[in-house]
Copies of this chain bind each other. A is one copy, B any other.
Amino acid sequence: MKDFPGTPGTITALVLRVSQCLFAACSIASMATTNNFFSVTAFCYLIASMGLQIIWCSGLAFLDAYALAKKKVLHNHVLVSLFVVGDWVTATLSLAAASASAGVTMLYVADVPSCRVGQECLKYQISVSFAFLSWITIAMSSLLMFWLLAAG
């Protein structure tokens, strides 16, 4: 398999994984400190999806760090296929969760003026922004993994 920045076991891959974890954690922290997130399905789904992303990305970050420390190459075909499927599933769930929460936040902030929930709205917006940042980084990882698999 070809070797380019972003493939498993490189510094770029490790940086991408760590940023995915950080952005997802910030998104959860901002959403979980609101008072009423549990009454909206989309916000609960955002927390579940970001939680799944943290589990997946921290696992891969440890693997990348291990490969870097031991100078191992992780270009096994079966392993890369597993990374591709996992990355695509988490990326799709993240985008869906971020968009669903963005839809509800837009409804609260702009569409229904009687629904204003003050300080809470700012936290919803911060949480959604971090979720989108997290999605952007995992989408980059997914594309790199898929390219690596397809290019053989």
Contacts and interface: CB of A to CB of B under 8 A. Distances in A.
A107 B146 contact: no
Contacts of A96: 95, 99, 102
Contacts of A150: 146-147, 149-151
Nearest to A42: B103
Contact of A42 (B40, B106, B151): B106
Counting every copy of the chain, the complex holds 2
Main secondary structure on chain A at its contact with chain B?
Answer: helix
B95 A99 contact: yes
A39 interface: yes
Nearest to A107: B104
Nearest to A102: B100
A3 interface: no
Interface in A128-152: 146-147, 149-152
